[in-house]
A = this chain, B = another copy of it.
């Protein structure tokens, strides 16, 4: 039993540090080298807005796995960079809808290419089957922990 547990502990340190950090750093580095002055956290917000513009901050938090305070500041910074604007919802004035500006639109193609290039570097020699298993395991890890919160 303790043997099994120790392996799980090791997995934790792997999840938390190694690959995640390495991919994030590489992507950030590739952005910088291309002259893109955005962080990967900012990019992760833009990524979801390119898929669907005009999301609420709440919804952006859900999709990017961040709490609302983090989203507030990410949007603050993106607004300061003139990449998004907040628009109060007419139906519910508590809600801010976040829209891309014209300045943000040209970034989409370049960031996609750099993200794909980074993932190609990261996933070199890793099979589609392995990727599917990792995605599936992560989804189940997430569900395991989130369901617990509802009990």
Q: Which residues of A contact B (CB under 8 A)?
A: 4-5, 7-27, 40, 44, 47, 64-66, 112, 115-116, 118-126, 128, 130-131, 133-142, 144-146, 148
CB distance from A149 to the nearest CB of B (A): 9
A125-B145 contact, Cβ under 8 Å, with A131-B7, A134-B134? no
Task: Give chain B residues whose Cβ lies under 8 Å from the Cβ of A4.
Answer: 128
Tell me how far the C-beta of A47 lies from the nearest C-beta in chain B, rounded to whole angstroms.
7
**What's the nearest-Cβ distance from chain B to residue A138, in Å?**
4
Instruction: Determine whether the beta carbon of A12 is less than 8 Å from that of B118.
Output: yes
- Whether the Cβ atoms of A47 and B13 lie closer than 8 Å is yes
Complex interface: chain B residues within 8 A of A17 (CB): 44, 64-66
Max chain B C-beta neighbours (<10 A), residue from A14, A15, A64, A112: A15
Complex contacts, A11 vs chain B, CB 8 Å = 119, 123, 131, 134-135
Number of copies: 2
Given contacts A9-B112, A116-B5, A133-B130, A141 and B22 within 8 Å (CB-CB): yes
Q: Distance (Å) between the CB of A118 and the closest chain B CB?
A: 7
Q: Is A148 in contact with B121, judged by CB distance below 8 angstroms? A: yes
Do A140 and B125 contact each other (CB < 8 Å), given the known contacts A65-B17, A131-B11, A134-B133?
Answer: yes
- Alpha-carbon distance A89/B146, docked complex (angstroms): 46
